[in-house]
Amino acid sequence: GAVVSQHPSWVICKSGTSVKIECRSLDFQATTMFWYRQFPKQSLMLMATSNEGSKATYEQGVEKDKFLINHASLTLSTLTVTSAHPEDSSFYICSAFFSGSPYEQYFGPGTRLTVT
């Protein structure tokens, strides 16, 4: 099956710094990727839809200037958390849509972000 990777798997950063998370589709091209956030004991919340070569579409309530998304190639989307604060500590998960299997999203393993 299609594989999606994320890097790093976990990261600790200081408050006020920025952190970049990468999401890669390893064996297929993904024109669309999705970014989710999951707080402890809660469900996944969709943050934004990332389309290759165009601006991301953010869900209501998600600050686009704080969570910068870049989808510069068909295999890579990045999420940058700018000026991170402790409340941004969460599990960030990406998924990719594969046109060869239109009813299935492939999820990455997630990135655990801790802001101190």
Partner 1 sequence: DAKTTQPTSMDCAEGRAANLPCNHSTISGNEYVYWYRQIHSQGPQYIIHGLKNNETNEMASLIITEDRKSSTLILPHATLRDTAVYYCIVSDSGGSNYKLTFGKGTLLTVNP
CB 60 within 8 A of CB 44: no
9 in Cβ contact with 22 (< 8 Å): no
Q: Cβ 36 to partner 1, closest distance in Å?
A: 8
Nearest distance from C-beta of residue 16 to partner 1, angstroms: 27
In the list 14, 43, 53, 65, the residue contacting partner 1 (rule: CB under 8 A) is 43
Angstrom distance (rounded) from CA 39 to CA 30: 26
DSSP-derived pairing of the beta strands 57-58 and 67-73: unpaired
Give the footprint of partner 1 on residues 68-97 (CB under 8 A). 91, 93, 95, 97
Binding residue (CB under 8 A) for partner 1 from 25, 108, 113, 115: 108
DSSP string, 27-48: SS--SEEEEEEE-TTS--EEEE
Q: Note the residues at the interface with partner 1 (CB under 8 A).
A: 4, 6, 31-32, 34, 36, 43-46, 49, 51, 91, 93, 95, 97, 99, 102-110, 112
